Amino acid sequence: MSEPTDLSPSDAAKLAASRAAIALVEDGMKLGLGTGSTAVIMVRELAARARAEGLSLRCAATSQATADLASSLGLRVEPLDQIGWLDLTIDGADEVDPDLNLIKGGGGAHLREKIVARASDRMVVIADPGKVVETLGAFHLPVEVIQFGWQITERLIREMLEAQGLGQRPILLRKRDGQPFLTDEGNLILDLSLEAIPDPARLARGFADIPGVVEHGLFLGICDLAIIGKPDGSVVELTRDDLSDEVDPLFAEEDEA
């Protein structure tokens, strides 16, 4: 593979993580492909390796955008139900905490991303060091809701947040080009600015009790491995078993930045 030039430090880190993740791919695998800027880099690298090595892969995409990209690069993309259970899903994340809990959905695909991740033997997250956080919540939390009665759903979310002691936080209807953003499923997204989420599991249970909420961007206990790339091309691999040894240095690097 030719080395890209003029990469930003963040993109160089994403490239390093992507290459480490696709090294896990074996011929004949059934793969889940994530969505977002990091996933774009990963899909391009995966397609290049598949061409170079003649790999036979079956891929399920988490968004139409990813499906279009992967297909254009020669990867075989099929509906998830047609492929069945997946060997491996590789995806990015907006935040990764010390327990490998995630916030996802910055690209608006977290519903399909969660379905695909749950339908996999293993979910691997790729990210740059800026995505590693001590506590989830600085990045907005996307909540996908159906269009019918969405303002009532928003009100119920506000009441739930107050009941959990999270106070009155801004909730914005996601828009694109001045119009409400619609997911691939035709739903709306409410972005919650929570600052910090002290008990993600409790918050997830709260969303489950609200009619109209289709899915939220909290991925709890789903990620098996996080590969954190660095601008110099090196990576740190984090699992739930060894995080205490590896996450603190990452935090220290971010504090010094």
Among 255, 253, 256, which residue's Cα sits nearest to residue 13?
253
* Predicted confidence (pLDDT) at residue 200 exceeds the cutoff of 70: yes
Q: What are the structure tokens assigned to 221, written together?
A: 């206990």
pLDDT, residue 235, reads 97
Distances, alpha carbon 105 to alpha carbons 16, 72, 184, 192, in Å: 22, 24, 12, 12
Name the pLDDT band for 257 (thresholds 50, 70, 90). Answer: very low
Least confident among 57-66, 141-150, 191-200, 237-246:
237-246
Buried b / exposed e over 82-118, threshold 16 CB at 10 Å, is: ebeebbbbbbbbbbbbbebbbbbbbbbbbbbbbebbe
Mean pLDDT of the chain: 93
Give me the DSSP letters along 5-23: SS--HHHHHHHHHHHHHHT
Residues within the annotated binding site for substrate? 35-38, 91-94, 104-107, 131
Position 256 scores a pLDDT of: 43
> Distance (Å, rounded) from C-alpha 71 to C-alpha 26?
19
Residue 255 confidence (pLDDT): 44
Could you give the percent of the chain with pLDDT greater than 90? Answer: 89
The average pLDDT across 221-238 equals 96
pLDDT band at 168 (very low <50, low <70, confident <90, very high): confident
Annotated binding site: 35-38, 91-94, 104-107, 131
Q: Which residues are catalytic?
A: 113
- Three-state DSSP state, 61: strand
Output the CA torsion sign for 125, 130, 134, 135.
negative
Measured CA to CA, the distance from residue 91 to residue 18 in angstroms comes to 9
Q: Distance (Å, rounded) from C-alpha 91 to C-alpha 246? A: 21
Is residue 254 over pLDDT 50? no
At 34, the pLDDT band (50, 70, 90 cuts) reads: very high
Note the pLDDT of residue 13.
97
Residue 108's pLDDT band, with cuts at 50, 70 and 90, is very high
Q: What domains, with CATH codes, occur in the chain?
A: 9-133+221-256 (3.40.50.1360), 141-214 (3.30.70.260)
What per-residue confidence (pLDDT) applies to 6?
80
Token pair 């994530």 is found at 34
Query: What does the pLDDT read at residue 167?
Result: 87
Say which DSSP state 246 is in: H
Determine if the pTM surpasses 0.85. yes
Tens-digit pLDDT profile for residues 68-97: 999 999 999 999 999 999 999 999 999 999
